[in-house]
């Protein structure tokens, strides 16, 4: 939970930054009760071509279909990062979409690498503005 702000309604609009990693899949599974019960869920992959998910119009259509089978009202999309830090993009897009919950994988890199070079997990922990469910 962010250290500032009031969060009376959590889970009505879920934002999932998706990179098809084991950690992201685990987070989606752990967050499935929120995702299935949400009014809307946005799944966005940043730089899908770098992840090998750039085939077709959607970065990973299977995640959308899988979530829809569980009753989620899901929209799947992709965006270029344009060199912006992924952690900052996650928080920015969550705000743009009006999300009240982020569901994401944590520590896709070793913790040492995150400590030295930074990463999305570290950026979210340092600047969290929305309640976030992370899984590793």
Q: How many CB atoms lie within 10 A of CB 78?
A: 19
pLDDT band at 11 (very low <50, low <70, confident <90, very high): confident
Residue 56 placed within a domain: yes
**Phi and psi at residue 14, in whole multiples of 5°?**
-105, 140
Residue 64 placed within a domain: yes
- Tell me what pLDDT residue 83 has: 87
Residue 95 placed within a domain: yes
- Tell me what pLDDT residue 116 has: 46
Taking the alpha carbons at both ends of the chain, their separation in whole angstroms is 17
From the list 46, 47, 44, the residue with the least C-alpha distance to 64 is 44
pLDDT band at 120 (very low <50, low <70, confident <90, very high): confident
- Tell me what pLDDT residue 103 has: 96
Number of domains in the chain: 1
Sign of CA dihedral 28, 30, 31, 35: positive
Average of pLDDT values for 32-45? 96
pLDDT value at 57 more than 60: no
Residue 94 placed within a domain: yes
Residue 7 placed within a domain: no
pTM of the predicted model as reported, rounded to 2 decimal places: 0.84
Please enumerate in sequence order all residues whose Cβ is within 8 A of that of 96, keeping only pairs 6 or more positions apart, or say none.
none
Residue 1 placed within a domain: no
Residue 19 placed within a domain: yes
Q: Scanning the structure block, which residue is given the tokens 């976030």? A: 132
Average of pLDDT values for 57-85? 86
Residue 75 placed within a domain: yes
CATH at 58: 3.40.50.620
- Tell me what pLDDT residue 104 has: 93
Average of pLDDT values for 5-27? 87
What is the extent of the structural domain holding 93? 13-135
């Amino acid at each position: 939970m962010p250290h500032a702000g009031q969060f009376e309604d959590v889970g009505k609009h879920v934002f999932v930054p998706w990179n098809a990693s084991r950690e992201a899949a685990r987070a989606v599974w752990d967050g499935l009760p929120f995702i299935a019960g949400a009014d809307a869920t946005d799944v966005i992959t940043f730089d899908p071509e770098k992840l090998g998910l750039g085939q077709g119009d959607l970065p990973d259509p299977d995640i959308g279909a899988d979530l829809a089978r569980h009753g989620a009202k899901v929209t799947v999309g992709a965006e270029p990062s344009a060199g912006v830090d992924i952690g900052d993009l996650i928080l920015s897009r969550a705000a743009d979409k009006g999300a009240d919950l982020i569901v994401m994988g944590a520590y896709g890199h070793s913790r040492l690498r995150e400590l030295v070079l930074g990463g999305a997990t570290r950026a979210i922990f340092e600047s969290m503005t929305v309640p976030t469910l992370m899984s590793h």
